[in-house]
Amino acid sequence: MAELSVQEIIKPENLVYQKTKLMTDKALSYCPGCGHGTAHRITMEVIEELGKENDTIGIAPVGCSVLAYEFMNVDMQEASHGRAPAVATAIKRLWPNKVVFSYQGDGDLAAIGTAETIHACNRGENIVMIFINNGIYGMTGGQMAPTTMIGMKTSTSPFGRDVALHGHPLKITELVAQLPGTRFVTRHSVHTPAAARKTKRAIKKAFEAQIAGVQGTAFIEIVSNCNSGWKMTPIDSNNWMAENMFPFYPIGDIKVDGKLIEK
Amino acid sequence: MGELKLMKGNEALAEAAIRAGADGYFGYPITPQSEVIEYLMAEKPWERTGMVVLQAESEVASINMLYGGGGTGKKVMTSSSSPGISLMQEGISYLAGAEIPCVVVNVVRGGPGLGDIQPSQSDYFQSVKGGGHGDYRLPTLAPSSVQEMSDFVPVAFDLAFKYRTPVLIVSDGLIGQMMEKVELFDPIPRWTDEEIVEMHPWATNGKPKGGERRIMTSLYLDPHVLEEHNYKLQRKYAEITKNEVRYELLDAEDADYLFVAYGSSSRIAQKSVKLAREKGIKVGLLRIISLWPFASEIINEFTEKGIKGFLSVEMSAGQMVEDIKLAVNGRTKVEHFGRLGGVIHSPEEVLEALEQKLIGG
Amino acid sequence: MTEEIIIAGFGGQGVLSMGKILAYSGIMQDQEVSWMPSYGPEMRGGTANVTVIVSDERISSPTLSFFDTAVILNQQSMDKFEETVKPGGVLLYDPNGISKHPTRTDITIYKIEGARLAAEMGNTKIFNMVVLGAYLKVKPIVKLENVIKGLKKSLPERYHKLIPLNEDAITMGMKNVVKI
Ligand SMILES: Cc1ncc(C[n+]2csc(CCOP(=O)(O)OP(=O)(O)O)c2C)c(N)n1
Ligand code: SF4
């Protein structure tokens, strides 16, 4: 195959990839290497591919992704810490034909907002909940999260998470899968292109069902890194995540079409 | 004339929400206002007008549901009583910061803490001095009858959307639980989705085709930008202060003294006026309707005219009395009388306080 | 005309609904009314009371310390409310379950054997209507026809067939009230 010249590469017909127009041009505020950016992008790509740019309302959390509304180019609301599922509940009930999603971290979704999470899922709100589990409070400087692994060091578990002192890491995703209101519960990651593609397919499936009006909550966990909070390089953090977090937070579908997957 | 009914204050409020064209009610049960959500659930307004009603998992969830719904331009409302309203304060502050219209009703009970479930007015500070964090104010209406529990709902929604702000209705267990004759106003149709999109271009209900996306947020990380935002809010509050003061005067023309009271206390004080007049004491009543913005100007006028004193009558340890003192600024006597903890003062006690604290004192 | 009434007794005696019917009757003849119940744990102890005001004028305080009429249906309420009747006012009571009878001499006292009469009519539930009849005989503040209208308004449709029975009970009360 003949090599393409630069002139030819930039021709529109040779385009192989383009940033979705549903991501703004604003520079992401995330640390280089952080998974939040990829998770944002694939979510917005799905909205664009489904043609729902003008019918989508997203809810940003309090956490590192508090500024998600700066980057996601759709109508957005910035909720108070932990309450995105309640905010999303009201919007979806008042605008049943719109597409509604929440985007939350583990502190937001599984600590301060546990009640809102469980009850939105239990009511089977027809929303898509995207949950970034990085096992730490990134925004406030690396404190322990409900999902922090046993033995993991954070600024509030400086000697490692000790069950006697801090309790167990919370598998909120397995927990919500038990609730009759959830329709689709799945766990993914975005640390490799292949993983990101799979995650995107899951997100698309979740939104398609919402658009089709199939009742039930879609809950997508993305196990992600926080290289800054974990004090690692991005690559090390991804490796550490695969080695240490995936065994405890196994990747894959947990509940599909309202049925738990037999393991 | 509208439909005449005998209703509890809480029921009238609930019926008024439906008739005011509310799109959504989100609430969590708490005495003495649970009749609001009970009435709505029994009435099934989703069949009557399409209004959504949801029992939330907590007051925290309710207020954030208002954030979501109000942020899309829909007319949304919640109600609770004191402890529940305390829980909502973070959310109310966010609503004020993000300039989201909604109506919050507090049917006040005795506090602090779990307190009791009897009528009280001890949430005045919380209502008008900013119960949550940050420099914000809430237009606050205080109904004093079942009729006003109904009438103030559409007024509150109008204020909420006119100024893009949460609006408080502060009632109490007495007005909530009491039944009175109420003339229900004719139903106002709910806005259609198209009307909402047209009327409220700021609302996040799906990015307009070819237009810019909208954002509901109270976050401004740059202090200079947040300062600007605060100045904008303050200009709005100044506008509200100029336009929205509400009060009522009773037997005030020839009065030597004035009771100042709101809500159920104003009903009791009205009786005290009657008892006093029978004894030849010239006292009138200034009934405060908007707790904020406060009727400072009329208090100033009476002070200028040489009124001999004001007696603030509140079911609290003396909260509104501070605003009266600010308006009077030392020019005449201002005293407070009130029972605490959910005890309702009697008309006789109020009169006695006037005689002892102002006339005799 | 302003009539300020307290009705007080046990929870199950229909105290609140008696007050409600009275209030509705007032509305039926274009009067102002208020109905203020005791609520909450106060009622758990078994006692219930309601303040009803019927007036030609705007009603001021819906809670009061003194009343034109007290309708008293148990001993606790007698202990609490006998002294709240205004001088020259009326105290109406059912002697069943009362051990300490009222002693005031500056008020007019009436007796109605409500519980016994209702039992004789074969339906203890209409007890409060017998008492209401007795009250209306003493204080005819609302016309009987307006009471019937008020009943219709305050009872759900499915109970409307019981209205004649209620009317009989009211008549029974009117006939049997005794001045002491
Ligand atoms: C009521 C309240 N409490 C605490 C905070 C401080 N706070 C902001 S973000 C955060 C934790 C966020 O962690 P997570 O949800 O895991 O998101 P991440 O930053 O890791 O993406 C906390 C505790 C707050 N904003 N509001
Ligand atoms: S602190 Fe952690 S979660 Fe936050 S942006 Fe940086 S890497 Fe991502």
Question: Which structural domains are found in chain A, ordered by start?
Answer: 29-260 (3.40.50.970)
- Using N-to-C axis directions, what is the helix angle for C127-138 and C163-176, rounded to 10°? 50
Q: Which of C26, C62, C64 sits opposite B178 (nearest CB)?
A: C62
The answer to whether residues A102 and A88 touch, using CB atoms and an 8 Å cutoff, is yes
Query: Is the residue at B91 inside a domain?
Result: yes
The answer to whether residues A203 and A130 touch, using CB atoms and an 8 Å cutoff, is yes
Residue ending a domain, among B174, B194, B214, is: B194
Q: Collect all residues with Cβ–Cβ distance below 8 Å to C25 and sequence separation of at least 6.
A: C142, C143, C146, C147, C149, C150
Region of poorest pLDDT, from A8-12, A138-142, B85-89: A8-12
- For residues B158 and B72, state if they share a domain: yes
Distance CA B102, CA B85 (A): 14
> Chain B closest CA to C31's CA: distance in Å?
9
Instruction: Express as a percent the part of chain A with pLDDT over 70.
Output: 99
Which atom of ligand 2 is found nearest the CA of A36?
8
State the CATH number of the domain containing residue B277. Answer: 3.40.50.920
The pLDDT tens digits for B274-329 are: 999 999 999 999 999 999 999 999 999 999 999 999 999 999 999 999 999 999 99
Average pLDDT, chain B: 97
Ligand nearest to the CA of A232: 2
B150: tokens are 């109904």
CA atoms within 13 A on the CB side of B22: 29
pTM for the full predicted model: 0.92
Q: Whole domain around residue C61: which residue ranges? A: 2-179
Count of structural domains within chain C: 1
The answer to whether residues C75 and C99 touch, using CB atoms and an 8 Å cutoff, is yes
State the CATH number of the domain containing residue B123. Answer: 3.40.50.970
- For residues B118 and B13, state if they share a domain: yes
> Cβ of B277 under 8 Å from any chain C Cβ?
no
Distance CA C48, CA C10 (A): 6
Query: Is the residue at B323 inside a domain?
Result: yes
Q: A36 or A2: whose pLDDT is higher?
A: A36
Query: Is the residue at B222 inside a domain?
Result: no
Q: Which of B24, B71, B214 sits opposite A93 (nearest CB)?
A: B24
For residue B161, the model assigns a pLDDT of 98
With contact defined as 3+ CB pairs under 8 Å, the chains touching B are A, C
Going by alpha carbons, the residue nearest to atom 2 of ligand 2 is: A226
The pLDDT tens digits for B165-195 are: 999 999 999 999 999 999 999 999 999 999 9
Query: Is the residue at B17 inside a domain?
Result: yes
Residue whose tokens read 């006028």: B301
Distance CA B27, CA B59 (A): 7
The pLDDT tens digits for C64-123 are: 999 999 999 999 999 999 999 999 999 999 999 899 999 999 999 999 999 999 999 999
State the CATH number of the domain containing residue C106. Answer: 3.40.920.10
For residue C41, the model assigns a pLDDT of 55
Going by alpha carbons, the residue nearest to atom 7 of ligand 2 is: A226
> Cβ of B72 under 8 Å from any chain A Cβ?
yes
The answer to whether residues B140 and B292 touch, using CB atoms and an 8 Å cutoff, is yes
User: Tell me, what DSSP letter sits at residue A242?
Assistant: I
With contact defined as 3+ CB pairs under 8 Å, the chains touching C are B
- For residues B185 and B257, state if they share a domain: no
pLDDT band at C42 (very low <50, low <70, confident <90, very high): very low
Which of A159, A195, A192, A180 has the alpha carbon at shortest distance from A258?
A180
For residue A190, the model assigns a pLDDT of 97
Q: What is the mean pLDDT of residues C165-169?
A: 94
Q: Collect all residues with Cβ–Cβ distance below 8 Å to C101 and sequence separation of at least 6.
A: C95
- For residues B277 and B350, state if they share a domain: yes
- For residues B255 and B185, state if they share a domain: no
Q: What is the mean pLDDT of residues A192-213?
A: 98
Of A130, A137, A224, the residue with max ligand 1 atoms within 8 A of its CB, to mutate for a pocket test, comes to: A137
| Rounded CA Rg of chain B | 21
The pLDDT tens digits for B195-222 are: 999 999 999 999 999 999 999 999 999 9
- For residues B164 and B15, state if they share a domain: yes
CA atoms within 13 A on the CB side of A3: 2
Distance CA B25, CA B17 (A): 8
Query: Is the residue at B190 inside a domain?
Result: yes
The answer to whether residues C15 and C74 touch, using CB atoms and an 8 Å cutoff, is no
> Chain A closest CA to B31's CA: distance in Å?
22
Q: What is the mean pLDDT of residues B345-349?
A: 96
Query: Is the residue at B205 inside a domain?
Result: no
Instruction: Express as a percent the part of chain A with pLDDT over 90.
Output: 92
The answer to whether residues B70 and B161 touch, using CB atoms and an 8 Å cutoff, is no
The pLDDT tens digits for A27-72 are: 999 999 999 999 999 999 999 999 999 999 999 999 999 999 999 9
Contacts of B69 in chain A (CB under 8 A): 90-91, 93-94
> Chain C closest CA to B178's CA: distance in Å?
4
For residue A209, the model assigns a pLDDT of 98
Q: Which residue of B has its CA nearest to C151?
A: B6
Exposed e or buried b per residue across C110-132, where buried means at least 16 C-beta atoms within 10 angstroms of its C-beta: bbbbbbebbeebeeeebbbbbbb
Q: Which of C24, C39, C153 sits opposite B177 (nearest CB)?
A: C39
Q: Collect all residues with Cβ–Cβ distance below 8 Å to A70 and sequence separation of at least 6.
A: A24, A26, A29
- For residues B157 and B299, state if they share a domain: no
Q: Which of A57, A69, A119 sits opposite B61 (nearest CB)?
A: A119
Residue C43 above 50 pLDDT?
A: no
Contacts of B248 in chain C (CB under 8 A): none
- For residues B144 and B274, state if they share a domain: no
Q: Which residue of C has its CA nearest to B178?
A: C36
B145: tokens are 């009858």
Does an interface of 3+ CB pairs under 8 Å exist between B and C?
A: yes
Ligand nearest to the CA of A133: 1
CA distances from B314 to B124, B140, B163, B342, B358 (A): 9, 16, 29, 11, 16
Look at B178 and C36 and tell me if their CB atoms are within 8 Å: yes
Of A109, A226, A237, the residue with max ligand 2 atoms within 8 A of its CB, to mutate for a pocket test, comes to: A226
- For residues B255 and B180, state if they share a domain: no
- For residues B18 and B165, state if they share a domain: yes
Q: Whole domain around residue B182: which residue ranges? A: 3-194
pLDDT band at A262 (very low <50, low <70, confident <90, very high): confident
C178: tokens are 């005794």
**What is the Å distance from ligand 1's center to B113 Cα?**
27
Ligand nearest to the CA of A82: 1
Residue B119 above 60 pLDDT?
A: yes
**What is the Å distance from ligand 1's center to A136 Cα?**
10
For residue C153, the model assigns a pLDDT of 83
- For residues B185 and B253, state if they share a domain: no
DSSP character string of A17-79? ----TTB-SSPP-SPTT-THHHHHHHHHHHHHHTT-TTTEEEEE-SSGGGGHHHHB-SEEEE-
- For residues B104 and B172, state if they share a domain: yes
Q: Which of A78, A88, A94 sits opposite B23 (nearest CB)?
A: A94
Residue B7 above 90 pLDDT?
A: yes
**Residues within a 6 A CB radius of ligand 1:** A 62-65, 81, 105-108, 132, 134, 136-140, 145, 226
Q: What is the mean pLDDT of residues A108-129?
A: 98
Ligand nearest to the CA of A63: 1
> Cβ of B152 under 8 Å from any chain A Cβ?
no
Count of structural domains within chain B: 2
Q: Which residue of A has its CA nearest to B89?
A: A80
Query: Is the residue at B230 inside a domain?
Result: no
CA distances from B46 to B25, B77, B190 (A): 11, 15, 11
Average pLDDT, chain C: 92
